[in-house]
A and B are shown apart, each in its own frame.
Chain A
Amino acid sequence: MQSILWRVPWLRSAVLLVPPLAWFLLIYVTSLALLLITAFWTIDTFTTQIVQVWNLDNFRTILTEPAYRLIIGRTVGLAALVTVTDAVLAFPFAYFMARVASRRTQTILFAAVLLPLWASYLARVYSWILILNHSGILNWSLQSIGLPPANIGYTYTAMWIVFSYIWLPFMIIPTYAALERVPETLLEAAADLGAPRWRAVLDVVMPLALPGVIAGSIFTFSLTLGDYITPILVGGAGSIFIGNVIQTNVGIANNLPFAAALSTVPVAIMALYLLGAKRLGAFEAL
């Protein structure tokens, strides 16, 4: 057996590749294809049984119904806002970690960034509810220093804060990785040519670190885009995301075709986003 594999080299790679490839095609690609097909079906609205009649009604509803445009716009808008927020927060932090901090501080900071990921996602979101709700820690603190309460529990602001908090590590790590790869010699060269430190950061470090930031933004953007738990827990009236509509259509209304049609929206958005990210060289930074 071993000698056959030795004599026929392509057989070796075939044996190695077939199981993962079969898995990928059968489980992953097939299920996506089925999802796409289902999107063109419809349901009997009374019994919610799937009716296999080809039509584009689901897509027409998504495009023409203002409520869905609003939900898609809200989801994409907040995902973009969270991404920008995380990029702004992560860059100085990652810069400090990669280029300023001592080895020891670096390790501590790394642990601090990764530590929240050890706790359950739900526990972290719930802790924010306790902070932000009407009689929560935030309002309690504000009142004890004589300020009026900030009623941001169950609002967009709450969702923005929680999302930005939860996905921040996913932005810091790739930005850090990109920053660490910038050779010190380039900065020295910039200094030799008379550039002050801030100028060097702006013109040398930033462009070189950009692919890392874009790579991080893929995480923050796609994770926010696909989330449906945070909107349920910390969102108020009128805060549902694409994911929530998909969830209600699958789990509650039993309208699989519509859910399938709607789920092609984030897929399309991410495809465009990844194309843009590829152009900016994000994949070389990963």
Chain B
Amino acid sequence: MRSTEGPAVWVRLGTLAAAALIAITGCGSNATTGGSTAAPPPTYNIKPPTTIGPGEGALSLIDWPGYVDRTNWQTPSVASFEQQTGCKISVKDAQTSDEMVSLMKGGGGGQYDMVSASGDADLRLIYGGDVKPMNTDLIPDYKYFQTYFKAPGYNTISGIHYGISLQWGPNTLLYNTNKFPTAPTSWSVIYDPANTGLVTVPDNAIQIADAALYLSKSKPSLGITDPYELTQKQFDATVALLHQQRPLIKKYWASEGEEITLFQNKDVFVGAAWPYQTIQLKLAGGPFADTIPAAEGATGWGDTWMLATNAKHPNCAYLWTAWVSTPQVQAEQALSFGETPVNTKACAEMEKLSAGSCAQYHADAPGSYFDTIKFWKTPIATCADGSQNCIPYAKWLDAWTTITA
């Protein structure tokens, strides 16, 4: 009896499964492709506190490696902050902006209090509801910030601040001076077949913007004005350029240390970098220099301490943000990482630590200077003119996978 029933049951089950599979295939995906910024961010109506209460005894941060520096910062040190406030800091280093977003989402239940996110991550965190508005009145040094960084578009929406600007810097062209005795004046060197196998660029989808910036000058017919707002045609041209660049690349670098090793071992001679790598390479001694090519300018990053929506230690978070905004800490961080403070008062402190560094890092730059740097921001479907024709970040990620595969 069982033996005759058995197969029948299985046949029926199989048919059901097949039917289900067809249903799934037919249904397809109607999930949102995202990028719409029509609705305000989910946390926009959360009122930030008006006073800072006593510290909660702990603070959990996601940072760029070296941002919460226990070893290099001398006066004042992170330890002295912990002593003063009683906020014991624990740090999680992130290697990329995408990783920061991922960590914030993974730790959304209050595992992390703050993140030192760069502009290309900010909008994703804001519209994802992962961060909440902050009260700039609680940061005494805020009034001394460079005007541009008081409310840059990447962290401030409709006048609501979703974080406090920290530091910024350009993405520089790093090169070996034995190979390039004079500083290259254009980013074309990293697209020139003459340098096949000698180039390195970051393994980061936002690198597409660097290629777009180069095309905005070398191919004006494409009409690229903002490297983060690309139409399909502009995007395709940029991706095609990066596919051409692929044979030139020795390796796409994933961490600062990796790029430093590549340059030191003469595996690469030119590439896109941060000032940090140049500082470390020069410290170790060697024929290295960096430049911002005059022909195109550069992309850059602006970092922001953002407060997690479910932060368990908001008071310590505000105490920390106020502390890192003070001129002394801003100067210490700027010089140890090779970036520029947003607090204009930090200039004098930088001069004390290293004469000439204020001008060298453009910490005293006039407002017009910031027009030459195209600061990272999350590419979204909404273009500047309000149309939905721009390529959103998810497509950038897909394209980057096909370029580097």
List residues of chain A with CB under 8 Å of any chain B CB: 40, 42-49, 51, 53-57, 65-68, 70-71, 129, 133-136, 151, 153-154, 232, 235-238, 240, 245, 248, 250-254
Contact = CB atoms under 8 A, between A and B. Distances in A.
Given A46-B35, A48-B128, A55-B29, 16 more contacts: A42-B29, A44-B31, A45-B393, A46-B32, A46-B381, A53-B31, A56-B24, A67-B401, A71-B405, A133-B265, A135-B265, A237-B404, A238-B404, A240-B405, A254-B98, A254-B101
B99 A252 contact: yes
A237 B251 CA distance: 4
Contacts of B265: 133-136, 153
B239 to A, nearest CB: 12
B31 A134 contact: no
B323 interface: no
Contacts of A252: 96, 98-99, 102
Nearest to A47: B128
A46 B31 contact: no
B307 interface: no
Contact of B32 (A51, A129, A245, A254): A51
B405 A67 contact: yes
Which size class do B's interface residues fall under? 35 or more
22 contacts: A42-B29, A42-B31, A44-B31, A45-B33, A45-B35, A45-B392, A45-B394, A47-B128, A48-B102, A49-B105, A55-B27, A67-B405, A68-B405, A71-B405, A134-B266, A136-B265, A153-B267, A236-B249, A237-B251, A238-B405, A253-B102, A254-B101
A264 to B, nearest CB: 15
A56 to B, nearest CB: 6
A219 B150 CA distance: 57
Contact of B28 (A46, A51, A55, A251): A55
The list of the 3 closest CB pairs from A to B, nearest first, reads A46-B34, A45-B394, A47-B128
Contacts of B394: 45-46
B98 A253 contact: yes
Contacts of B30: 53
A65 B402 contact: yes
Given A49-B128, A254-B98, A44 B24 contact: no
Contacts of A40: 24
Nearest to B266: A134
A56 B25 contact: yes
Interface in B363-400: 380-381, 392-395, 397
